[in-house]
Structure 1
Amino acid sequence: MSLHSMTRRRPLTALAAAAALALTLSACSPGSTTASQDADNVPSAAATGLPSSHIHGLSVNGETDQVLLATHEGLFDVTKSPATQIGDTNDLMGFTAAGDNGVFYASGHPGPGSDLPNPMGLIKSVDGGKTWEQLSRQGESDFHALAATKSGIVAYDGTLQTSPDGKTWSAASTEFVPAVLAGTPETDTVLATTREGLQRSTDGGKTWELNTTAPIIQFATFAGGTEVVGIEPDGSVHYSADAGSTWSRTGQIEGKVQAVTAVKQTEGKPWIWAATTEGLVLSSDAGATFRPADTN
């Protein structure tokens, strides 16, 4: 869909969001350096209180409240301060949690001293990121976007692909470029944030449909089977209770968001964590308000 055709569907604010998202996509396309590396206004790790200024992924264990950041310098546990590095110093460009706690998929580039190929292809950890197994496409794919679903993996390395086991792949018939892929191991619904708007799949990423009524969001994350949180490029927070079909605005995040995750609660709406240029922040009211996350 062209920006010209979008003017007949979306208000001016949505066009501004699309333009901002387009800049983000161009900065982090596969084969380029990271958006954080290209940006001149990204604060240092010391300024944010985070272990790296290049945050590529965020995961929170709903049972233990362990908070992990996937970064340009590797995986860090930031549950307490100071942060603790886990495993090797690899550039984890793509990162997603699987169904079991401590199981992660990742992609990117090997760090200093690593014997992994470049790019790393799809790798998997079953011990919380301490060690990684090479699954497929080593030396071929740098997956900047990854999502785990009930039926497998959805990933983007310049081509959107699906895999039932992380080893064999099939290309999806799509032309959009996702900034983020969001899924949950509980269902086969997958969301892709794009400059044209929110793409939605209900068959594990094989087929897609543009949700023309959704906000143009840059980050999306599932909290359980149907609850989703979405963040616009300007930090506006949205909540969906029906797996991304309909949305309501809840609040605003200050600072530029780099990664976001949400955790389902037994009562009430999900808690939201976001890594921003202001540091790590937390919302316990579905995004209405945010406060600095306590990592002491």
Structure 2
Amino acid sequence: MKVQLKMILAILIGMVLATGCTNKSEEPKKTEQKNKAEIKTNFDIVEAKSFTLKNIRGIGYPGNDNALYIAANDGLKMYRDAKWYETTVNQHDYIGFQAIESGFIASGHPQKGISLEDPLGLVKSADKGKTLQKLAFYGKTNFHFTAASFSGNGLYVIGEQPNDDLRLGVNYSTDNGATWKKSALKDFNADSLGMMAVHPKNGETIAMATRSGIYYSNDNGNTMKLITDPFMVTALSFNGDSVLYSSVENDKILLKTINPLSGEQTNSTFPFLDYDNPITYMAVNPKDQNQIAFTTYKNDLYESIDGGEKWTNLLRDGKKELD
């Protein structure tokens, strides 16, 4: 079982995720597109009676809705007022999903039959997925690791293949993807790059989960500081100025909060998870910090609306059964 756990964690933290999605290097099929891809098929958000998610690509609380969003390989699922919803079209394979105040940012692959280039590069939606605005690398690159400030003033990607516009490693943009700079990562000593989180208000402040702890930066990742002990961290999210994260220590899955400036840490209560089912994605609602959600390797989903005192199991094995 320990060997299996190591394999799982390598998938979570490794430079390239084994998610069945590729960072396409082949020449994409070219189609004539406007700067904003307007989908002409009837778009609606309807109640989802049942579904099974094969892959969860990210979660978050977009500021233009009052719902928890799940990005999956077959589009968006939204949980609001104890009901699940989904879109009728635009069921794209979203990857690197990031909730922001005006909507969401993502990468990934378009739904088959829709005239969008593959891969999507970085796209943004301010209307719950009805239309996509192309930010950068459209038709060129797919990003497994992205991060964005809720305020919209900081955008980060990990370049897995260098090109004329992007360097290998962490790159950041302060102008919504128009131009990019490479983070210097001074004093970064981990042997892997992993999931990133950006401060909800200050786009210069980031944290990164690695196999050897959390690295923190307040200058766009140009200088980094290890703020935890060197243990495996699988997921993290800012909760105000603090960082909520999940670690794996002594074959146990833990949930903690750390103040990056003081180093003070607190343990959080949460449902028991088998050590081969670690936490994969985590989200805190910047508009209500008591609203927290996380997913697991086996596609379980939990949410708390009281700051982690009580948790509701919204999905088990990615399944929403018929009522």
TM-score by length of 1: 0.74
Question: How many Å separate the matches in 1 of 2:237 and 2:259?
Answer: 12
Shift of 1:53: 2.5
- Confirm or deny: 8 A CA contact 2:147 2:157 kept in the other structure: yes
What 5-or-longer segments of structure 2 have no aligned partner? Answer: 23-49, 161-168
Over 3 Å counting, the alpha-carbon distance change for 1:278 and 1:185 in structure 2 is closer
Q: Which residue of 2 aligns with 1:283?
A: 304
Question: How many Å separate the matches in 2 of 1:33 and 1:181?
Answer: 21
Question: How many Å separate the matches in 2 of 1:117 and 1:244?
Answer: 46
Residues 1:170 and 2:181 aligned together: yes
Q: Which residue of 2 aligns with 1:209?
A: 225
Provide, for residues 47-106 of structure 1, a one-character-per-residue CA deviation record: whole Å limited to 9, x for no partner.
xx76513111111257863111111111222325343226512111111122x2x42111
Shift of 1:223: 2.6
More strand by share: 2
Q: Which residue of 1 aligns with 2:114?
A: 114
Q: Which residue of 1 aligns with 2:67?
A: 66
Shift of 1:170: 1.5
Q: Which residue of 1 aligns with 2:92?
A: 90
- Confirm or deny: 8 A CA contact 1:18 1:196 kept in the other structure: no
Task: Let me know the Cα RMSD of the aligned residues.
Answer: 3.4
Provide, for residues 123-151 of structure 1, a one-character-per-residue CA deviation record: whole Å limited to 9, x for no partner.
11111222111111123321112222364
Q: Which residue of 1 aligns with 2:284?
A: 262
Map 1:128-139; keep pairs closer than 5 Å. Answer: 128-139=128-139
Over 3 Å counting, the alpha-carbon distance change for 1:230 and 1:147 in structure 2 is same
Select the structure of larger CA radius of gyration: 2
What secondary structure is seen at the aligned counterpart in 1 of 2:111?
coil
Give the counterpart of 1:33 among 20, 31, 34: 20
Q: Which residue of 1 aligns with 2:45?
A: none
- Give the letter for the 1:33 counterpart: G
Percent sequence identity over aligned pairs: 24
Over 3 Å counting, the alpha-carbon distance change for 1:240 and 1:76 in structure 2 is same
Task: Point out 4+ residue stretches in structure 1 off by more than 6 angstroms.
Answer: 16-19
More helix by share: 1
Over 3 Å counting, the alpha-carbon distance change for 1:64 and 1:130 in structure 2 is closer
Q: Which residue of 2 aligns with 1:123?
A: 123
- Confirm or deny: 8 A CA contact 1:76 1:86 kept in the other structure: no
TM-score by length of 2: 0.69
- Confirm or deny: 8 A CA contact 2:12 2:280 kept in the other structure: no
Shift of 1:122: 0.9
Provide, for residues 271-290 of structure 1, a one-character-per-residue CA deviation record: whole Å limited to 9, x for no partner.
32123436431234544542
Question: How many Å separate the matches in 2 of 1:124 and 1:77?
Answer: 17
Question: How many Å separate the matches in 1 of 2:70 and 2:262?
Answer: 25
Map 1:99-248; keep pairs closer than 5 Å. Answer: 100=101, 102-149=102-149, 151-158=153-160, 159-165=169-175, 166-174=177-185, 177-187=192-202, 188-213=204-229, 216-224=232-240, 226-233=241-248, 234-242=252-260, 245-248=263-266
Shift of 1:194: 1.1
What 5-or-longer segments of structure 1 have no aligned partner? Answer: 1-12, 36-48
